[in-house]
């Protein structure tokens, strides 16, 4: 293993709480509550959800002393790409579970073939069993009332083993999936709660990481249920 690279990754991970605090403060100060959406890739996804966790804590403190929260404090639409987050952190009772209170819609674009995130456990040590959310996806069956906010796409058939944001933004199919969430368009029919949307027929199987967790990772469904017929026309079937 490259110890220098591991040290660099651990340093970046250690800095995300400070960056998340800055983002949370900026979100609280913005005057455009109904016109914002958030997108994070890799550790940027961790920063986004850590910032929303801080906002959820602030909302709770506000409600304990006041009858309502400020109008600027509204749930946001979120897209996370190849998220460098432990795959259980968003589940009830885990590290970032309250962040879901700050989410209106969550689109997870995962890649079970990501060559970088497949080594995610190195962040904690070679004996760690931690897996990245951006590889396994989330166990939607364990999200309770938040499952209906969550849609997942496995983009491995498009991205392959690559990591980083550029391949995702270069894909018309993935941009079509992100656009309704980032720019406020609503699907014509509501998504199935917690569903997983494969981008190609060959990806209708669940990655082995998901199978090990005993299901609950959402079921495969046509991409058109999320994007609507017009947007789905460009998606491979």
Q: How far apart are CA 59 and CA 73, in angstroms?
A: 8
> What per-residue confidence (pLDDT) applies to 66?
66
Q: Say what the pTM is.
A: 0.77
Q: How far apart are CA 11 and CA 177, in angstroms?
A: 32
Residue 174's alpha-carbon distances to 93, 109, 123, 169, 209, in angstroms, are 31, 8, 28, 7, 23
For 99, phi and psi rounded to 5 degrees? -60, -30
Residue 173's alpha-carbon distances to 5, 91, 178, 198, in angstroms, are 32, 28, 9, 12
Give yes or no for a contact between 150 and 106, defined as CB atoms under 8 angstroms apart: yes
Domain count of the chain?
1
Does residue 34 sit within a domain? yes
> What per-residue confidence (pLDDT) applies to 36?
86
Does residue 237 sit within a domain? no
Mean pLDDT of the chain: 79
pLDDT tens, position by position, 196-234: 555 433 333 334 444 443 334 443 233 334 444 322 222
**Regions of the chain where pLDDT drops below 70:** 1-2, 33-34, 62-72, 185-237
> What per-residue confidence (pLDDT) applies to 62?
67
For residue 187, the enclosing domain spans: 3-232
Does residue 181 sit within a domain? yes
> What per-residue confidence (pLDDT) applies to 67?
60
Give yes or no for a contact between 137 and 218, defined as CB atoms under 8 angstroms apart: yes
């Amino acid at each position: 293993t490259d110890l220098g690279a591991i040290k660099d990754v651990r340093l970046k991970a250690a800095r995300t709480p400070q960056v998340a605090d800055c983002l949370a403060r900026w979100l609280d100060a913005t005057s455009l509550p109904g016109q914002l959406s958030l997108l994070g890739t890799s550790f940027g996804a961790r920063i986004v959800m850590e910032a929303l966790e801080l906002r959820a804590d602030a909302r709770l403190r506000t409600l304990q002393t006041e009858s309502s929260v400020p109008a600027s404090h509204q749930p946001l639409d979120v897209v996370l790409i190849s998220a460098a987050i432990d795959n259980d952190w968003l589940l009830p009772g885990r590290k970032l579970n309250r962040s879901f209170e700050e989410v209106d819609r969550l689109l997870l674009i995962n890649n079970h073939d990501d060559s970088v995130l497949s080594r995610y456990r190195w962040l904690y040590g070679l004996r760690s069993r931690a897996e990245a959310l951006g590889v396994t996806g989330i166990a939607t069956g364990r999200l309770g009332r938040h499952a209906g906010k969550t849609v997942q796409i496995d983009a491995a058939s498009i991205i392959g083993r690559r990591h980083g944001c550029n391949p995702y933004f270069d894909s018309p199919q993935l941009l079509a999936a992100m656009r309704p969430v980032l720019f406020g368009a609503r699907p014509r029919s509501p998504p199935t709660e917690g569903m997983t949307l494969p981008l190609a027929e060959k990806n209708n199987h669940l990655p082995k990481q998901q199978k090990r967790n005993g299901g609950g990772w959402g079921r495969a469904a046509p991409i058109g249920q999320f994007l609507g017929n017009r947007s789905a026309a460009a998606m491979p079937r």
